[in-house]
Amino acid sequence: MGKKKLAHAFARKLSLGERIFIPYIMAGDGGIERLADRIKLLERMGATAIELGIPFSDPVADGPTIQEAGIRALKHGVSLESVLVELKRLKDTFHIPIIIMTYLNPVFAYGVKPFAEDCREAGVFGVIIPDLPLEEEELISEALSKVEIAFIRLVSITSTEERKMEIAKRTEGFLYAVTVTGITGARDSYQNDIGKYLTSLKEISKVPVLAGFGVSTCEHVKEFSQYCDGVVVGSKIINLIEENNEEAILELINASKSSLIYRGK
């Protein structure tokens, strides 16, 4: 049921004239015992869903902030298994959709079928695997489909038009539009044609399009929301949590609720 519930949560947010806002946090950063409070905090603040990172020793898509958060979690002994066990324990204490972001190696070590089944038991709505290419995704897509968990695909700004079309056709939950050529991390500026890129994805995607990688200011949230359905914010959220700056987190989330002239489809 994860796919349908995620689609419902997104549709409800968009029906209110707002944009989808998904904060990213690293599971177990500071200890697994902090996970519940952070999920509930972001839920109270009005996040649409939460992208929950799994700590990994070789996070090829992550910038320094997320890498450091992963290292902190690993030092606390946090693993994919311990995160799923904790989510299963907590799942009746919150209602916000949880999306797992993990690399492929931990899934293989866990076992693809047990991973999918345990995600379902833990109440996970969707899964993102950034280092799994389109050509090899059958390694996990069938297992996730059987348990009705959305398999969310990423599309790059440098992808060919043909590849963008194929990724847009296959993705579930939302289409994750990577807005930079590089790793995650806060940025001050983006390419001038970013609006054209996001608009083009809206024209071919059957599900919401969300912009991510480097989104770090209220201005970014408002600007990207003119062209697509919302944003994913990672490194900035991690920094603000470290600083205990709840006011700034709330400002970012509220920026997605601003009245906007939507230029996309």
What is the pLDDT at residue 182? 45
What is the pLDDT at residue 262? 46
Q: Which H/E stretch holds residue 255?
A: helix 246-255
- On whether residue 264 sits in a domain, the answer given is no
Q: Give the CATH number for residue 227.
A: 3.20.20.70
Range of the domain at 126: 2-255
- On whether residue 86 sits in a domain, the answer given is yes
* DSSP codes, 2-30: HHHHHHHHHHHHHHTT--EEEEEEETTTT
- On whether residue 261 sits in a domain, the answer given is no
- On whether residue 152 sits in a domain, the answer given is yes
What is the pLDDT at residue 58? 80
- On whether residue 44 sits in a domain, the answer given is yes
- On whether residue 263 sits in a domain, the answer given is no
Residues annotated as part of the active site: 51, 62
Q: What is the Cα–Cα distance from 50 to 41, expressed in whole angstroms?
A: 11
pLDDT digits (tens, 9 = 90+) for 89-133: 999 999 999 999 999 999 999 999 999 999 999 999 999 999 999
- On whether residue 265 sits in a domain, the answer given is no
Domains in the chain: how many in total?
A: 1
Q: What is the Cα–Cα distance from 80 to 238, expressed in whole angstroms?
A: 19
- On whether residue 211 sits in a domain, the answer given is yes
**pLDDT-derived band of residue 189, with 50, 70 and 90 as boundaries?**
very low
**pLDDT-derived band of residue 57, with 50, 70 and 90 as boundaries?**
confident
pLDDT at 187 over 80: no
Instruction: With CA atoms as reference, report the closest residue to 167 among 182, 188, 183, 153.
Output: 153
